[in-house]
Amino acid sequence: MNALAGSLRIALVGNPNCGKTALFNRITGSQQKVANYAGVTVERKEGRFVGPSGRVMQLLDLPGAYSLDAASPDEAITRDICEGRYPGEAAPDLIVCVADATNLRLHLRFVLEVKRLGRPMVLALNMMDAARKRGIRIDIGALEKALGIAVVETIAVQRGGAAALIERLDASVALDAVAPAMPDDSGQPATEANLHAQVRSMLAAAVTMPRATSAIDDAVDRVVLHPIAGLAILAVVMFLIFQAVFTWAAPVQDAVTYGIGELGAWVGNLLQPMPLLHSLVTDGVFAGLGTVLAFLPQILILFLFILMLEESGYLPRAAFLLDRMMFAAGLTGRSFIPLLSSFACAIPGIMATRSIQDPRDRLTTIMVAPLMTCSARLPVYTLLIAAFIPRQSVLGVFNLQGVVLFVLYFAGVVSALAVAWVIKRMRSDKSEHALLMELPSYRLPNPRDVAIGLWERSKIFLRRVTGIILSLTVLLWFLSSFPSPPDGATQPAIDYSFAGVIGHWMTYIFAPIGFNWQICVALIPGLAAREVAVASLATVYAMSAADDAATAQLGATIASQWSLATALSLLAWYVFAPQCMSTLAVIRRETNSWRNVWISAGYLFGLAYLASLLTYQIAKALT
């Protein structure tokens, strides 16, 4: 950081949906650092770039805001940093305010508000390509004159689309061309009416707008927001995603499993002289790593779809369609986006609830987010589905395995709505809370922005795999290897180990829901992260199997040893179980309350036990 001490600090601010993050990606490329603001979990994105003169500049991407009169924690951070009073953050030397050129009526008001801070600033008129396509003409000179600040056109989604802005920023350092904006040169008190009046006169002076909205948006919205067609499209989109996750990933998954297996065998051969180390590496490290890494393709596909829906502007439409239903359940349409992200992982999902301004709606969303089927459950689901559900077609088009997966996801959604409804009934404060959500213009997802997002998210996943998961698998290997079986033992070695003892002990609680001791053992490390459970099962069965071949065929092993009722019961368990320390830790951090952690862990455990009990007993009676 010290090397950058003398460089210019620039903050990027703007309304939500102004293309700010795309512009940030365009300017900084891969030179970004994503972290959190100290003490809170609003994402802090910083990057650096070099101007034509060779000068290094730091760029901070602030959360989107409609107003500096903050209505959510995100907006409060933007306000505090712009005003230079956020603890631990230096005030920016220069503010780049980003405005969507097709939406100036709304965005210029915020520009005026930022200008009143009296800091040096530049206005970036983004999405100029879309503006030109729609025949919008903006007289930059007139706008600069009216605003009293420099105005630069940008096209964030185009190569070189930010070159003019970078040049301007670079020059502003050398020539000091960007004078501090006048706090308020209108001479009028800062009322809403005045700000809006100023915007109107600027628009009249500098902007020609053939029509208020894009004709394409209108046409698409007529279909997508249609009461019947819209809901049908939403259902088809969701269903296609899940079919894709299950079918597209299969070949890649097989390749990953094969590759890791071969590598494990090769390394195992080298370690043959040292039996203990050989066992650790092949049964612990490779068995665990291979089983989990095999699910990376599926997780990437899921992230890819969520990112594309986000980028295209479809997500708020889905929220619009579902608001009434979610409102009846005690949520809001806005909860849809955090809850959908929770399908990938509850952690970013819970963090995304910061966009819900209302604390009460936010808490309810956080409480039910763990019920959304996160990608970490996929390893468990896919393992069990592949082992127990026949691959046959239903109605000629659908794969039965895909249908079961869809049912599991659906069960999570329905129970989330039910729990939210119960929370709504139980709370005493029944005052009104707003939806107030912008439906942005449709955009083709930009491959570069999707790729950057995908890369960031897979990095987080891989870090978890290599860190927590690997160390836990090795710990489990230790527990299941020691102590060694006594001489003349008749049972597999793991029966006599620490893990075996703990597992047998736990069966007193879990026998009624059909779990054998191997599952119980796997549940322990599964507390740290759900996907570890599969790795643990692989380890447990590898340890108890006669030969190493069993490692590779975990699916075949459990298919022959478990009853269908046990498999279904474990699936039901995973729909609800609070098996993720990181999620609980995030709930603690986001709500700042241990009470909420205990409530959510408690209710999830209760539901999981109940659901598994019912599933097991009913399935046993039927089979």
Partner 1 sequence: MVREVEDAHAADPIARRLRELGFVNGEPVRVVASGPIGGDPLLVQIGYTRFALRRAEAERVLLMAGDAA
The tokens of 16 are what? Answer: 């939500």
Comparison of 66 and 242: residue with beta carbon closer to partner 1: 66
- In whole angstroms, how far apart are CA 517 and each of 185, 381, 499? 75, 19, 9
Q: How far is the CB of 100 from partner 1 (least distance, A)?
A: 9
Binding of residue 192 to partner 1 (CB under 8 A) = yes
Subset of 408-467 contacting partner 1 (CB under 8 A) = 432, 434-439
Say how far apart CA 445 and CA 452 lie, in whole Å.
12
Of the two residues 239 and 605, which places its CB atom closer to partner 1 in the complex?
A: 239
Tokens representing 586 are 């995030």
Per rule CB under 8 A, is residue 6 in the interface with partner 1?
no
User: Could you say whether residue 104 binds partner 1 (CB under 8 A)?
Assistant: yes
- For partner 1, give the closer residue by CB, 236 or 434: 434
**189 counts as binding partner 1 under rule CB under 8 A:** no
48: β partners: 58
Nearer to partner 1 among residue 283 and residue 358 (C-beta): 358
The answer to whether residues 372 and 62 touch, using CB atoms and an 8 Å cutoff, is no
Q: Output 212 or 397, the one with its CB closest to partner 1.
A: 212
Query: Token pair for residue 352?
Result: 């995304």
Binds partner 1 (CB under 8 A): choice among 9, 132, 196, 278: 196
Among 9, 55, 105, 448, the residue binding partner 1 under the rule CB under 8 A is 105
Nearest to 383 by CA among 289, 253, 240, 243: 253
Judging by beta carbons within 10 Å of its beta carbon (0-12, 13-18, 19+), is residue 506 exposed, middle or buried? middle
Should residue 316 be labelled a site residue for partner 1 when binding is judged by CB under 8 A? Answer: yes
Report in angstroms how near the CB of residue 222 gets to partner 1 at its nearest. 8
| Min CB(125)–partner 1 separation in Å | 14
For partner 1, which is the closer residue by CB, 229 or 460?
Answer: 229
Q: Minimum distance between the CB of residue 207 and partner 1, rounded to whole angstroms? A: 10
213 counts as binding partner 1 under rule CB under 8 A: yes
Q: Does 130 bind partner 1 (CB under 8 A)?
A: no
Nearest to 96 by CA among 64, 78, 121, 61: 121
Give the number of other CB atoms < 10 A from CB of residue 317.
21
Q: To the nearest whole angstrom, how small is the minimum distance from the Cβ of residue 328 to partner 1?
A: 8
Judged by CB under 8 A, the stretch of 157-165, 223-231, 337-345, 453-461 that binds partner 1 is: 223-231
Q: Which residues contact 265 (CB under 8 A, 6 or more apart)?
A: 282
Q: For residue 589, state whether it binds partner 1 (rule: CB under 8 A).
A: no
Give the residue, chosen from 54, 227, 273, 396, that forms a contact with partner 1 under the rule CB under 8 A. 227
Assess contact for 233 and 224: CB atoms under 8 A.
yes
Residue 102 interacts with partner 1 (CB under 8 A): yes or no: yes
Q: What is the C-alpha to C-alpha distance for residues 217 and 540, in angstroms, rounded to an integer?
A: 55
Question: In this complex, which beta carbon is closest to partner 1, that of residue 160 or of residue 227?
Answer: 227
| Cβ proximity to partner 1, 213 vs 466, nearer residue | 213
Q: How far is the CB of 103 from partner 1 (least distance, A)?
A: 5
Residue closer to partner 1 (CB basis): 199 or 289: 199
Please spell the DSSP secondary structure of 501-524, one letter per residue: HHHHHHHHHHGGGT--HHHHHHHH
**Spatial CB neighbours of 464, under 8 Å, sequence gap ≥ 6:** 529, 582
Contact status: 228 vs partner 1 (CB under 8 A): yes
> Quick one: which of 24, 49, 295, 320 contacts partner 1 (CB under 8 A)?
320
338 binds partner 1 (CB under 8 A): no
The answer to whether 323 contacts partner 1 (rule: CB under 8 A) is yes
For residue 367 the two structure tokens come to 């409480």
Considering the complex, state which of residue 44 and residue 109 has its C-beta at the smaller distance from partner 1.
Answer: 109
Half-sphere CA count of 225, side-chain side, radius 13 A: 15
When asked if residue 73 is in the footprint of partner 1 (CB under 8 A), the reply is no
Contacts of 342 (CB under 8 A, 6+ apart): 348, 349, 350, 369, 370, 372, 374
Determine, following the binding rule CB under 8 A, whether residue 230 of this chain makes contact with partner 1. yes
Q: What would the DSSP string read from start to end of 116-170?
A: TT--BEEEEEE-HHHHHHTT-EE-HHHHHHHHTSEEEE--TTSTTTTHHHHHHHH
Q: What is the DSSP letter of 575?
A: H
Give whichever of 288 and 440 is closer to partner 1, judged by the CB atom. 440
CA distance 139 to 610: 66
Q: Does 327 bind partner 1 (CB under 8 A)?
A: yes
Q: What is the 3-state secondary structure (H, E, C) of 372-426?
A: CCCHHHHHHHHHHHHHHCCCCEECCCEEHHHHHHHHHHHHHHHHHHHHHHHHHHH
Query: Which region, judged by CB under 8 A, interacts with partner 1, from 105-113, 245-253, 289-297, 395-403?
Result: 105-113
Cβ proximity to partner 1: between 436 and 614 the closer is 436
Which of 4, 33, 69, 251 forms a contact with partner 1 (CB under 8 A)?
69
User: Residues binding partner 1: what is the number (CB under 8 A)?
Assistant: 39
193 is an interface residue for partner 1 by CB under 8 A: yes
CB of 208 to partner 1, least distance (A): 13
| Contact positions vs partner 1 (CB under 8 A) | 66-67, 69, 71, 102-106, 109, 192-193, 196, 209, 212-213, 221-222, 225, 227-228, 230-231, 316, 319-321, 323-325, 327, 333, 432, 434-439
